Amino acid sequence: MDKNLFVLTGKDLLKLSAMMLLGTILFGLTGLVIMIILQWFTRQSYAQDSVDKHGISQIGASRLGGFAVMLCAAGLLGAGTYTGLIDAELGPLGVDYFVWITVSCCMGLGLVEDLKNDYLAPRVRLYSEFAIFGVMVAVTPQFIPLTLGIWGLDAVMALPVIGFVLTVMFCVGFINAVNMADGANGLIPGILTISFSLFYAETGSLVYAALMTSCGLFTIFNVISGRLFLGDTGSYGLGAILVLSGLYFYERGVFSASFLAVLLAYPCIDFLMTLARRSWQGRSIFLPDNDHLHNRLYFHFQKRFRSVTLANSLTGGVIVASSAGVAMMGSLLSWLPVTSELWALVFAVQCIAYLLAFYLAGLGRPISQHVVDV
């Protein structure tokens, strides 16, 4: 890759100044330090993302954003533990430390892919994910949801083997959904920031304050610069935290399954839609393409804006606002309690809106735009 892609121009310096100012205003000295760390990662010559990797980005970028986010969050957690703000005897999620071992394994799997793209075959990564979550659920069976409230399903989930298999499949499917949806600036980072913000607001757990801070700052950096992506480290690691937190909070009645569905609507709907679309087209579900909703939206935004970064970031912003943003707005304005199952109606509207937007955004977009990622 051309090294000049990472040389700071006058525009880059202006963007960096804006990001550092925003980070300092919103998060103080912590924000300034993390912005400097994020900028340092973009200057590294390894783990670079290929241009147009997701059919969206058209500038060189680093794939180490997820690693940087987790590193910064770990630093904040370490500071919290050192000062006594976080209980050192219990894992930060309020569960056994084995959960963090699971997250670390997912991060390691993603980091291998970030450092050397396509080093591991898709099937190898998939089997590894099943093994990681299989061990985790076997050791901590409390993550198996037994009270979904769906007729017949609770009895099925209560069967040890079936409950175990379905829970592992759900976890693996979810982190792949997050990875698959990570294409536009601010899309997955924005969903992560909102999710961790709501988790912190409802539980007061400082681990989510740390994750909210690091993800929020990364979102600002990602949206403005477009030079740093979550990569597979972030998609797998942060996706694992999201799915395990969701199962944990659902089992304890903190959030309803319907509310979590609204909060995480885009990666879930897009994942299922993508599997169905590829199967219908007779293609392997393991082979990526550039025909997601965010690809289709970006195609139309880039025709209207000269800045590719602006078009990219608008794509992510629109999707975040219509998915996780709805959950946050509903929570802030008290539309419904976060424990209500009536959020299922909102999720149904999101599904319909996705299908309609997918169809409309595909109009006028040539087949050549559906190229397979390489």
Average pLDDT over residues 254-282: 90
Report, as an integer, the average pLDDT of 85-106. Answer: 68
Using DSSP, state whether 62 is helix, strand or coil.
Answer: strand
Residue 30's H or E segment, with its range, is helix 10-42
Query: Quick one: pLDDT band at residue 96, thresholds 50, 70, 90?
Result: low
pLDDT of residue 3: 45
Per-residue exposure over 166-195, b if at least 16 CB sit within 10 Å of its own CB, e if not: bbbebbbbbbbbbbbbbbbbbbbbbbbbbb
Which structure tokens are listed for 97? Answer: 């430390």
Phi-psi map region of 116: left, alpha, beta (phi>0 left; psi -120 to 50 alpha): beta
Tokens of 46: 């390894």
CA 225 – CA 57 distance, rounded (Å): 11
234-238 mean pLDDT:
93
Q: Which helix (H) or strand (E) holds 48?
A: strand 48-49
Instruction: Tell me how crowded residue 258 is: count the other CB atoms within 10 A of its CB.
Output: 21
More confident residue, 93 or 28: 28
What DSSP letter does each residue of 214-256 carry, written as one string?
HHHHHHHHHHHH--B--HHHHHHHHHHHHHHHHHHHHHTTSS-
Task: Break the chain into its structural domains and give their ranges.
Answer: 3-370
Q: Which long-range contacts (CB under 8 A, 24 or more apart) does 146-149 make?
A: 146/251, 147/251, 148/257, 149/257, 149/341
Confidence of residue 197 (pLDDT cuts 50, 70, 90): very high
Angstrom distance (rounded) from CA 213 to CA 70? 11
Q: What is the mean pLDDT of residues 227-241?
A: 90
pTM: 0.86
Question: Is residue 43 pLDDT above 90, yes or no?
Answer: no
34-48, 126-140, 268-282, range with the lowest pLDDT: 34-48
Residue 198 CA to residue 45 CA, distance in Å, equals 36
Tens digit of each residue's pLDDT (9 = 90 or more) over 123-166: 889 999 999 999 999 988 888 887 776 667 767 777 878 889 99
The SS3 call for residue 49 is strand
Average pLDDT, the chain: 83
